[in-house]
Structure 1
Amino acid sequence: MMWSCTDLEERPVGILAPEAIFRTANDVEVAVLGSVGLLATEQLYGRQFTSALMLRSDMVDIGDRGTVAARIQMNDFNMDDNNAMVLAIWPRFYEVISAANAALAGSEIVTGSEARINALAAEARFMRAFSYFHLVRNFGEIPYIDFFVSDPATVKNISKTSVATIYQNIIQDLEFAKQWLPDRQPNNVRTRATKGTAAAYLANVHLTLENWQRAYEEAKWVIDNKDRFGYQLMEDFQDLYKAHLADGLAEHIFAVDFLGLQTAPGNINVDFTASMTGIRGADRSGWSVNVPSLKVYQTWPEGDYRKRVSFDSAIMMGGRLQPYPNFVNTQRPHIAKYTRFPGNAQGEFQQSDHNYPDMRYAEVLLIAAEALGEISGATAEAVGYVNQVRARARNEAGVMNSFPADLNSGISKDEFIRLVIEERRFELAFEHKRWYDIQRRRMGNEVFLGPNSLEPRSNFSEARDYLWPIPRQELENNPNLLPQNPGY
């Protein structure tokens, strides 16, 4: 159930007919699960996409500069339209979309329970919206395909769709998903979408578009119905990053599930995220590629338990605990979220057992706080959402700390919004969110060029760097996708 719209002239796949593929609702579910499963690949949440989002932010820098050039270019804002990371990410997301579109075509022709078929169609539409939401933020205008590609000729000369239209379609898909998805999936898995998942992403989409009222309403709906969906903050922040606890984790609203020590053809279930963040030369070694700058660590308040969960500032080397100035490759604290408790994994953390969250309940609280803050300022309700997140952060394995203290209502609107964005930086650190915050808030000049930059990048350009280049091979295959994004 996996088709790609790339390289159509070189590798035509023939003509397919949905009637020959889909005969029952079970067949539709296979296609839906195919779209879900494609997220758990090396090209997306196993390394390439998540690494790109990390490196593009001001929270993660290249550690070992001997790594491949594509990563250095992504990190340093000097890539071109032949960047290998972009070339891996673009077609894989379109395969997710293709599988979702196939499922939707199947849902229109099979017979069976209307409720089940609508739920499967809703899940397919969620997966399509999820993929386009990531694509449109990083590439801007792109081809929007919302039909079963039975003949490659139908998309060979497709043109780009405006950003406004893509967002309109994303919202329509998510609203359909919110209407027809179940409250909970079988076995309460968090790797398949529910009504709560769709609403949380609607909140995020509207936040990105600065539709503050709609963002607040969707986030508030999730919060008001958290018991219905089984959402809550985990008591101990560290438990969010223990792979053996990940399945059905109450704070996860949508996650990508990897199975430890298992792989499949096509880089399916190939996970190198922990390897990329691990410490080269440690007794259990990683590759020291995605490593925060020293300033990220030094400016993070010492009293924050989340700092101790998020970083390894000392590690066992040769049987002795060594502080980060003695690390053999990159003398900086490394990300600990994915290496400390990886579950079943190989020696350098490959093929871990992690479920990587793309949306947590904590983020919904912060979306509600930010949106309401934009509408009404630092009201008691808006401040209360931030304080829920801060209260959990004070619980260090059952011992209550005094930091971070609760915010007080009455502070200025601008200061409150600044504090919410900063809270997102700490709470969601290294979870692939910071780049999107920089992008949607247009903070690039401040965070890369300003005097307090955590990761100075003198060549950052707002005219170019909020978007990635459309892959060159796509433009060569189909000139209708021109012009290239500015600056590439």
Structure 2
Amino acid sequence: MKSLTSIAFLFLILHSSCENYLETKPINFATPETFYNNEQELTAALMAVYSELGSTNEGTYSRFLSLEAPASNDEILRRGANTEAAADAYNASASYDRFFNCWTALYSGIQRANLLLENINKAQVSLDVKNKIRGEAMFLRAYYHFILVSYWGDVPLKLSSTNSLNQIYIARTPAKRVYEAVIQDMINSYDLVNDITSYNHAGRVSKTAVAGVLARVFLHAAGRLQDASYYQEAKDWALKVIQSGIHSLNPDYKQIFINHSADIYDIKESIWEVEFEQDNNSQRNEGERFGSTIGIRNNDDRTGFMQGNYTATGVLYNLYGIGDLRRDWNIAPFYYPNFDRNNPPVMYPANYRWGRYVAKWRREYQTKDYNKNFGGTNWPLLRYADVLLMFAEAENEINGPTAEAYHAVNMVRRRAHRLPAEQNSTAADLPSGLNKQSFFNWIKDERARELAFEGHRKLDLLRWNLLSTTMQQMVSIISTSAPSASNTALGYSGRTSSLRPYQNFSSRDLFFPIPTQEISLNSLMVQNTGW
């Protein structure tokens, strides 16, 4: 068990394929004095920074950051009794292992990035190679800090590596300073990294990935720091993606998520993904657990085991309008009798709106033999639709609902109705004459419809200062609208179980706790309020 400032050096991995950077093998333990000498070693060190996106301890996007950390809000809840400790049951303590696993994985990525940045200049490689690697490492360092400040608030800002025991004691840095450092690192990385077209896949950080994530960071900073001046920067960086000419919407919404499982890259819609591989033997760090945890429940290992642990809320179901094809892809329209995909699927009753399984990723589209728990579905970190919605939100905050803001949202909505993005539609397009507040309300709901289950909703509600209100409203909604009795065959665990996380929620849950292990090792660390 180690503190975030552990002096143990990283377990480096070598890059073994130009086609997929995750096809890697571990090499020997190394020290800064004996490593970082050539392009191969710099690339290996960079891949070690990337690897924490899909950490083997399931602390990041393999499971925790994709499912548990952002869950239990008005779009998604965990099926079952929720009596065990869990972040999405809002009943875990500061000693909960997944808080610790996430914290340590993110700081491990930061430590690896710092070591690479501090040693990169000694390598005998061209300046161009150094700059591209420097840009990716700098961005990833910033991204890990961004996730930390989003979930924990004030966190230690680490812009240099830990190289002595005297450096294990570090105080929390005010969130504003963390955001400033994140923004600076990301801006500095923009001119250094490649265009996505040079990779032809979405697993590496590219210029449009940097720009799109920067738009997100600025929107979060505007809300969390209550500083409207950030909206202009959010708009400008979103525009860089839009005006790049590289990206566009996939005309078929469901194909985006089939591609994630089928190892197909569409760099027009998908700008940045966490790459996972089906094979998860002891020498790999690539298998994801979210695919076997969600999905339409199926107990048969041979056809793609899915626990079906997460279900959509009736609130999300009701947000979708007539003709919106996203609903029946994101929210299961059917279930498997006896939880066995060998049986013909049965359609849910039309009025059944609580307890339908999350169906956005379906394991039958994975391309290799099924491993019961681990899969190769990639996790989306940034899509073009998200960029369009971020642009519209920022534009509305600055200038109100302009024609440009309307157009960005309407493009997303038209695709949802399987219409061309440039084709006007009375069925799909936003109503005319909206004011600033009503346009924001449409944006809020459209982000839920479009980005459902992609890990954004809770953090969106937090930056809008709406999470506490939403959780309180869910208690009332479930108490009056959700069925009282459970229906195990259909996936619904009952009103009492569904209510539990919302009743457990309190003001302390606006932030995760600093892990107990970190508090015990770092005498300067102070716990979040209420924990």
Q: Same fold (TM over 0.5)?
A: yes
Partners in 1 of 2:94 and 2:108 — Cα distance?
A: 20
Counterpart of 2:186 in structure 1 is 174
Letter in 1 for 2:167: V
1:233 counterpart = 2:249: yes
Counterpart of 1:363 in structure 2 is 386
Partners in 1 of 2:369 and 2:310 — Cα distance?
A: 19
1:315 counterpart = 2:338: no
TM-superposed deviation, 1:449: 1.0
SS of corresponding position for 1:359: strand
**CA distance change for structure 1 residues 131 and 258 in 2, over 3 Å: closer, same or farther?**
same
Partners in 1 of 2:389 and 2:105 — Cα distance?
A: 30
Counterpart of 1:254 in structure 2 is 272
Counterpart of 1:478 in structure 2 is 522
1:51 counterpart = 2:67: yes
1:487 counterpart = 2:530: yes
Counterpart of 1:77 in structure 2 is 90
TM-superposed deviation, 1:80: 1.6
Partners in 1 of 2:424 and 2:368 — Cα distance?
A: 33
1:36 counterpart = 2:50: yes
Q: Which of 438-447 and 130-139 deviates more?
A: 438-447
Q: Which of 307-316 and 413-422 deviates more?
A: 307-316
Preserved contact between residue 331 and residue 359 of structure 2 (Cα < 8 Å): yes
Q: State the Cα deviation string for residues 412-456 of structure 1 (Å, max 9, x = none).
A: 100001101111000000000001111100112331112775776
> 2:214 aligned to 202, 222, 227, which one?
202
SS of corresponding position for 1:312: coil
Letter in 2 for 1:50: S
Letter in 2 for 1:473: Q
Preserved contact between residue 414 and residue 425 of structure 2 (Cα < 8 Å): no
Preserved contact between residue 514 and residue 528 of structure 2 (Cα < 8 Å): yes
Preserved contact between residue 297 and residue 333 of structure 1 (Cα < 8 Å): no
TM-score, structure 1 as length reference: 0.88
Partners in 2 of 1:417 and 1:111 — Cα distance?
A: 52
TM-superposed deviation, 1:324: 4.5
TM-superposed deviation, 1:185: 6.1
Letter in 1 for 2:38: T
Equivalent runs, 1:72-151 vs 2, <5 Å: 74-151=87-164
**CA distance change for structure 1 residues 70 and 7 in 2, over 3 Å: closer, same or farther?**
farther
Q: State the Cα deviation string for residues 136-175 of structure 1 (Å, max 9, x = none).
A: 0101111221223333x14311221111111111011101
C-alpha RMSD of the superposition: 3.0
SS of corresponding position for 1:358: strand
Counterpart of 2:25 in structure 1 is none
**CA distance change for structure 1 residues 340 and 17 in 2, over 3 Å: closer, same or farther?**
closer
Partners in 2 of 1:397 and 1:231 — Cα distance?
A: 15
TM-score, structure 2 as length reference: 0.81
Q: Percent identity?
A: 27
Q: 5+ residue gaps in structure 1?
A: none
Letter in 2 for 1:204: R
**CA distance change for structure 1 residues 117 and 281 in 2, over 3 Å: closer, same or farther?**
closer
Counterpart of 1:464 in structure 2 is 508
Partners in 2 of 1:219 and 1:166 — Cα distance?
A: 21
Q: State the Cα deviation string for residues 391-431 of structure 1 (Å, max 9, x = none).
A: 11111899x99785212453110000110111100000000
**CA distance change for structure 1 residues 370 and 198 in 2, over 3 Å: closer, same or farther?**
same
Partners in 1 of 2:186 and 2:180 — Cα distance?
A: 10
SS of corresponding position for 2:34: helix
Preserved contact between residue 248 and residue 268 of structure 2 (Cα < 8 Å): yes
Partners in 2 of 1:7 and 1:413 — Cα distance?
A: 46
TM-superposed deviation, 1:287: 1.2
Letter in 2 for 1:440: R
TM-superposed deviation, 1:389: 0.7
TM-superposed deviation, 1:262: 3.3
SS of corresponding position for 1:291: strand
TM-superposed deviation, 1:4: 6.5
Preserved contact between residue 291 and residue 377 of structure 2 (Cα < 8 Å): no
Preserved contact between residue 111 and residue 162 of structure 2 (Cα < 8 Å): yes
Preserved contact between residue 239 and residue 245 of structure 1 (Cα < 8 Å): no
Equivalent runs, 1:304-453 vs 2, <5 Å: 304-317=324-337, 319-324=343-348, 332-339=355-362, 341-344=364-367, 347=370, 350-395=373-418, 405-450=428-473, 453=477
Number of equivalenced pairs: 470
SS of corresponding position for 1:458: helix
Letter in 2 for 1:481: M
> 2:235 aligned to 216, 221, 230, which one?
216
